[in-house]
Each structure stands twice: as structure tokens, then as C-alpha cells.
Amino acid sequence: MRTVFWEDSKVKMIDQRLLPGEFVIAEFETVAGVARSITEMYVRGAPAIGATGAFGMALAAQNSAATDRDGLLADLAAAKATLDAARPTAVNLSWASRRLLELAEFTVLPNVDDIRSALLAEAQALADEDVAINRRMGFNGAAVIPDGSNLLHHCNTGALAAVDFGTALGVVFACQEQGKQIHVWVDETRPRLQGARLTAWELMRAEIPMHLIADNAAGHLMRTGQVDVVIFGADRVAANGDAANKIGSYKLAVVAKENGIPVYCVAPTSTVDLNLAHGDLIPIEERGAEEVTGIGERLIAPEGVPVYNPAFDVTPHRYLTGIVTEEGICYPPFTQSLATAVGRARERVVENRKARGK
């Protein structure tokens, strides 16, 4: 089962807000609806958001009343603006919507219906590539996870955070496929509890040994020798390797370094933003107070309390042992190794397109 997919001319997705209690497929027929699904986190996780954005662009083409290429391009540009604004930190969203828009801009197809079909095929290809990329990345990362390791993991980076298989949890699934005995400490990940709700659900279904921990337990586990490797994903990686990920990741990386524990960030090249020189340039999303003042429907703080709720933080690259991508593991100096990985990935997209006869 894929996290997000196209069916019956609609964008469909697992409603992650309801897991693990209920498994519901939500469906959207308008670009505004798809943007809302991202903002309200029916779908979340950087690669999953990217694929959703791509299907959103295909939906825009389908719904456009344009009868000529210029009209269609104008509708697609408007859709891209709407989709990109849905969440600011994960660069996969604008990466995917740009890929679809550029296809429409540079195509030699003269007929708008053919362009519509080409956009849908490209969104499907992007989603299929995401799964293949995650598998390659997972096995690249598994190479540095010794048998018998205790991993510490933050947020949710599994199949739910991508189209399938996942990023950092993809490494865990790859270790399992290789027959390695591993155990995962699962950070609950306040305020939205992606670790407790989603990662625990995925690991239990896969029968991978794990324990759910309160976020505040991580430092104690690291200082007392119970963690061998810290592993998390990213929503945007700057050119120098600074990585924005779910709030709390930075704190884990600093404590890991203090205790001599390797830290791997696992992210596809679509998450790397070579346009940003360093992590302080990454936009950090702020979300609503209700995520902090409540758990589910239950209020846990005095009504009206002032709240600050940044959803991501930036881990400076000096705390990262390596950045695992689908093109291999990037090591310092990241400015060079990331640029090389992104270059290789771009060549692969062109080769794949040629192979599909596009």
C-alpha cells in the first residue's frame, strides 16, 4: 500500500492524522484540497509531500479549462504557488512541483491534452522513482549499521513519510531484509507524536524489535551506552550539509557527539537544496499553539497560555557523521560530496526519462 497515489482522477492518501486508531484513505479533487491535505498533515514527511505536490500538479492540469498551452501554463504556475505555500520547510514540495511545471514549459507536445497526460505520467514516474530511491538509500545506509545495533530514531521516516519504504526507517527495513539483529529506540516526538503514533505502528507491523521512549529519555540512553547509532531524516539539507529536520533532532545530535555516537541523516537528493549555502537560510515552519497545549482533544495547559511552536530545527553539519543518499553516503566536506550526489541523481532522472521514451 502506497502512502499517496492517483486513482479515479483523484489524489488519494492515507489520512495519517487518524493513525494508529483508524486506517482511512482520504481523497482530493482540487488543488486547494491537496494543499490543505499537506498543511493539515493528512500527509506528511518530506518525500511524501513531494509526491503529493506532483500529483497536485497533475490534478491542476486535469482540472484546467485551458484550451491552449499558454493558458495551461498559467494555471499550472498558479497551482504551483498554492501547493508550495502549503508547508515551507520540506524542499521536496517545490522540487516536485517545479519538475512538473518545467516538463510542461519545455515539452514539444503541441496539444494540451497530450501535455495533461504527460504531466500525469511524470507524477506517476516521480512516485515510482521515490520507492526505488528509498530502497537504494536504505541499503546504502545499512552498510554502516553493525549487526546487533541499538538505533535511536526521531519522528517518522518510514513508508508513511515517503511513497513507500521510507528514508531513515528505510535503513532499518534494509537491515531487517539483510537479517541483521537490530533494536530501535523510538522517540515519541512531541508535539504531534509521529514517533509514538506512526513509527511505532510501522515497526510493530514489521515485527522489528523496538521500545517507545519519551523524548526526554534519549540523553540518558546515550550517556549510559544504550545507543550505538542515531539516525533521522531531513526536510531540507543546505549545500554545506546543515540539515533541517523535526524539532528535537539538533539536541539528539549534540548529545550524540558528546557521547561519541555516530549520527546519520538519511535523505534523498530531492531534499538537498544547493541554492542555500547554510542551514540558517532554511525557512522553519511555525505551527499552531494547539499542538503544544493539547494531546489530541485533551487540553494539558492553561487555556490562553502563550506558545511558541517551531516544527523543525537545524543540525549544523559538524554534528553529522554522514548524510545517506540514494547516490551513496556523503561525508565531509559535504559541500563537495552533496553536489556530486545531486549531479548524479539529475543524470539519472534524464536517463529514466529517455528510457520511458519522453
Residues that bind ligand MRU (CB under 6 A): 44-47, 90, 155, 157, 161-162, 167, 194, 232-235, 245-246, 311
| Phi/psi at 320 (5° precision) | -100, 125
- Closer by beta carbon to ligand MRU, 50 or else 334: 50
Residues 193/246, Cβ–Cβ less than 8 Å: no
- The CA distance from 124 to 130, in Å, is 10
At its nearest, how many Å lie between ligand MRU and the CB of residue 281? 18
- Closer by beta carbon to ligand MRU, 58 or else 231: 231
- Closer by beta carbon to ligand MRU, 115 or else 161: 161
Instruction: Give the pairing of strands 272-273 and 328-330.
Output: unpaired
194-196-200 Cα angle (round to 5): 100
Active site residues: 235
- Closer by beta carbon to ligand MRU, 42 or else 232: 232
- The CA distance from 164 to 51, in Å, is 11
At its nearest, how many Å lie between ligand MRU and the CB of residue 65? 33
At its nearest, how many Å lie between ligand MRU and the CB of residue 315? 12
At its nearest, how many Å lie between ligand MRU and the CB of residue 321? 17
Q: Is 332 exposed, middle or buried (0-12, 13-18, 19+ CB in 10 A)?
A: middle
- Closer by beta carbon to ligand MRU, 161 or else 323: 161
Q: How many C-beta atoms surround the C-beta of residue 42 within 10 A?
A: 21
At its nearest, how many Å lie between ligand MRU and the CB of residue 55? 17
Residue nearest ligand MRU, CB atom distance = 233
Q: Which three cell numbers stand for residue 41?
A: 498533515
Cα torsion 40, 43, 47, 50 to 10°: value is -60
Q: Which three cell numbers stand for residue 233?
A: 531524516
DSSP string, 95-160: HHHHHHHHHHHH----SHHHHHHHHHHHHHHHHHHHHHHHHHHHHHHHTTS-TTPEEEE-S--SGG
Residue 62 CB partners (closer than 8 Å, separation 6+):
9, 116, 120
At its nearest, how many Å lie between ligand MRU and the CB of residue 250? 12
- Closer by beta carbon to ligand MRU, 116 or else 233: 233
